[in-house]
Amino acid sequence: MYESAKKIYPREIGGRFDKLSKLATIALLGLFYFLPWLLWDERQAILFDLPARKFYLLGLTLWPQDFPYLALLLIIAALSLFFFTALAGRLWCGFACPQTVWTEAFIWMEQLTEGTRSQRMKLDKAPWSLAKFRKKASKQFLWITFSMWTGFTFIGYFTPVRELGADILALNIGGWTLFWGLFYGFATYGNAGYMREQVCKYMCPYARFQSAMFDKDTLIISYDEKRGEPRGGRKRSVDHKAAGLGDCIDCQLCVQVCPTGIDIREGLQYECIACAACIDACDSIMDKMNYPRGLVRYTTEHSLQSKTTHVVRPRMLVYATLLLILVGGLVTAMASRTPVILDVIRDRNSLYRELPDDLVENIYTLKIINQSNDARSFTLSVSGLEGLLLDGIDGEVHVDGGGVLSLPVRIRARRDDASGVNEILFGIEATDDASVVMEEDSRFIGPTP
Amino acid sequence: MINEEYRGAQQWSRNKQAAFTVIWISFLSAAIATMVFFAIFDPIELGAIFDAELEITHDAGYAAGFFFFWVLCAICSSVTAFLVRTAPKRDAKHRQQ
């Protein structure tokens, strides 16, 4: 009932957009493979240290408590995607998506070992021979090596990459590390080597809903039907306008270069990842025919209908305003982030203890997290009730840089001042910087009269 | 004709589509769930709650959590896909009445 997937052999084409896409591939992959090796203050600049539950981002150390920042960052990323989609269509898909970028790299390795499009098609049809085996084996060797390196780099974002490198060379690598490295490597191999455009067509949610961000002013890649039709072959010498033909010579080059195997001349299709290979292809033919370029080009629906294209429009303003508010919020929140966290946990075992001299005692555990990289001393205070006494601490408490201190404290109050449930407030202040303060409320419970 | 080479081709069967979509979308959901969950809970502290004798490493805790979420999301996702695909068609129902 359903035909099995036929392999697409995208034809290689040079040109403006091909150069741009190669540049994007090199820059993005370069960043991915290089970043783990970057140092900052003699430690890895970007490291998601899962065992220690700390994220190092350049000079910044993020803790699990900072998760809201990450969530906000993800929302900003999603909104930027909407913004750029409404403005310029599927730029993300064509130039920046990891699926596209790694597929590019894998196709490049395929071309290196198996040759051009027609050579690859012939090779696949040919019976097995030593030459075919040699070509296929060298392709697999390149693919697998590259995938393993990718998996290793991925792990390098979570495990110090220099130690990891030494461990791998010494064949001394932990079970989970090996597992995730192989997992990511295999995913790269499968996605970029075999699944390719099928991922965009069948598995990508963005490919399905991006059209909701589109309007008639969005930049799209389109075939100029008015100019191209009626299409048909002709000799270069023929005056095609006199012969009643449009500019499209029906050479099929735009179809051959398409990595998703569509015909751009059939209109805007959700399979189109806007890689612009068809523009390069068509421009090269237009040059040969001495026709003006741009039969297939970046344009907008309004422009195709000879109307004005508006860059600034309500949709763009809404996206831009939301983006500005969120980015502003994130920056403000990050700037005003206190590098200390105070948690107060009331002792669960007893409500209160009665002491001689009409005193009542409650027990708490204070958790002080010093998020800065340097050791710090703090002074503690408690308020909210008359005559509260802090017991168990002598003056200042000392917390290592990036350290967590669990501190049991006893709070006492006069029985008459503390009947029932009372709100109290704990506070800490860094001794070296009075702006580093943090307060946390809790309850003090006394006997009900 | 090049076009003929492609026409009607390169289509995954519906089962394959469903399987890969379920795997991929539940993977993404599980990744998000794992991030949120372990930003709040430390796997070692969790392990201590369930069984004081249990000794797990962070790595194993995160991996177990991730796979738990992946399986859970995959079940959710595939049941939804199944129900949507096997639902009675509106037209057919109208004709019966």
Tokens standing for A386?
A: 């008359």
Residues of A in contact with B36 (CB under 8 A): 67
Q: What is the mean pLDDT of residues A45-64?
A: 86
Q: Please provide the average confidence, as pLDDT, over all residues in chain B.
A: 80
Residues of A in contact with B40 (CB under 8 A): 64, 67
Tokens standing for A20?
A: 């741009």
Q: What is the mean pLDDT of residues A431-436?
A: 84
Query: Looking at the complex, does the CB of residue B15 fall below 8 Å from at least one CB of chain A?
Result: no
Residue B95 has pLDDT above 80, yes or no: no
Per-residue model confidence as pLDDT tens digits over A185-237 = 999 999 999 988 888 888 899 988 888 888 899 999 999 999 998 898 888 88
pLDDT confidence tier of residue B96, bands split at 50, 70 and 90: low
Give the least confident one: A76-85, A99-108, A175-184, A427-436. Answer: A427-436
Query: What is the dihedral sign for C-alpha A265, A269, A274, A275?
Result: negative
Residue A2 has pLDDT above 80, yes or no: no
- pLDDT given for residue A168 in this prediction: 86
Q: What is the mean pLDDT of residues A306-317?
A: 89
Residue A21 has pLDDT above 90, yes or no: yes
Distance, CA of B74 to CA of A189 (rounded, Å)? 22
Residue B92 has pLDDT above 80, yes or no: no
- pLDDT given for residue B93 in this prediction: 54
Per-residue model confidence as pLDDT tens digits over A118-153 = 899 999 999 999 999 999 999 999 999 999 999 999
Per-residue model confidence as pLDDT tens digits over B12-48 = 788 888 899 999 999 999 999 998 898 888 888 887 7
Query: Looking at the complex, does the CB of residue B54 fall below 8 Å from at least one CB of chain A?
Result: no
Query: Looking at the complex, does the CB of residue B75 fall below 8 Å from at least one CB of chain A?
Result: no
Residue A392 has pLDDT above 70, yes or no: no
pLDDT confidence tier of residue A36, bands split at 50, 70 and 90: very high
Of the partner residues B12, B38, B58, the one whose CB lies closest to the CB of residue A202: B12
Query: What's the CA angle centered on A171, arms A169 and A173, to 5 degrees?
Result: 105
Residue B91 has pLDDT above 90, yes or no: no
Query: What is the dihedral sign for C-alpha A210, A215, A217, A220?
Result: positive
Percent of chain A residues past pLDDT 70, beyond the cut: 98
Residue A332 has pLDDT above 50, yes or no: yes
Which residue stretches of A89-129 are H helix? 91, 98-114, 117-125
Q: DSSP character for B48? A: H
ipTM of the complex: 0.77
Residues of A in contact with B67 (CB under 8 A): none
Residues of B in contact with A179 (CB under 8 A): 63
**Which chain B residue lies closest to A265 (C-alpha atoms)?**
B3
Strands A404-414 and A353-355: unpaired
Name which of A1, A2, A177 to mutate to probe chain B: the one with the most chain B Cβ atoms within 10 A of its Cβ: A2
Task: Pick the more confident residue, A228 or A419.
Answer: A228
- pLDDT given for residue B3 in this prediction: 44
Distance, CA of A347 to CA of A445 (rounded, Å)? 11
**Which chain B residue lies closest to A6 (C-alpha atoms)?**
B10
Q: What is the pTM of this model?
A: 0.82
Residue B1 has pLDDT above 50, yes or no: no
Residues of A in contact with B14 (CB under 8 A): 2
Task: Pick the more confident residue, A25 or B90.
Answer: A25
Distance, CA of A382 to CA of A389 (rounded, Å)? 8
User: Hey, which of A147-151, A257-261, B91-95 has the most confident mean pLDDT?
Assistant: A147-151
